[in-house]
Amino acid sequence: NRIYPEHLWEKEVKKYVEERVNRKCAYGELNHPSANAHEIDPDNVCMLMTEATWDGKEVYGKSKILETPKGLIAIAMLEGGGRVSASSRGLGNIGEQVTIEGKKVGKVASLDLICWDAVLFPSNYSCDNLKGITESLISKAYDISEGGVIYERTLSEFEKRLVNNGTKNLKSD
C-alpha cells in the first residue's frame, strides 16, 4: 500500500551502487528479517549484488548466490526446481495519502535503501520474473529466463556456448 516516487529510487540506487555495490558489500539475506530491518545480519547473508542500474522506471541488478549456509539453501531451492525472487528492503516515511483505483495508499516521502533480499514471495510481482545466470561451486548453473523458468545446465555447457560466441567470460546473453 505504498507508492515510491521515481526521484527517490533514482537517488537511492545511485547511492547504493556507490556505497555498496562498488565497494563489494551489497549483501542480501535469505528472506526479509522480521526484526532489525535496518541492518544486514551476516548469519543470514545469501547473496552479493554485483551490479545495479536505474533505467528511469525500473531497477535492474545482478547478484551472485554465495556458498554461505543461507546461500546453500537458496541453491537447494533452485536445484529442486523452485523459484527465488528478489525484493528491495528499505526504510522510509509515508507522506500524503492518495487514492488509486478506489484504494488509499501512502506516497513515500523519504527512502533509505538497505539492500535486496532473496525472497519466496516478493510484494512487487514484476520482481518474480528473474532473468539472469546464477552459479555455484557445485559446478551447476541455472539460466533463469523471463517468467521464472529455470534451465539447469553444467558450467561446461555454458562455457561451450560462450566460446562459440567468441568469449570465455561468463556473462548473460
The residues annotated with a catalytic role in the active site are 32, 87
Asked whether 16 and 52 are in contact (CB, 8 A), the reply is: yes
C-alpha cell at 62: 545482478
Distances (CA, A) of 55 to 9, 16, 60, 61, 71: 10, 15, 8, 11, 28
Asked whether 162 and 168 are in contact (CB, 8 A), the reply is: yes
Give the three-class secondary structure for 121.
Answer: coil
Looking up cell 513515500, which residue turns up? 108
CA quadruple 85, 172, 17, 46: dihedral, nearest 10: 40
Query: What amino acid occupies position 16?
Result: Y
Asked whether 115 and 20 are in contact (CB, 8 A), the reply is: yes
C-alpha gyration radius of the chain: 17
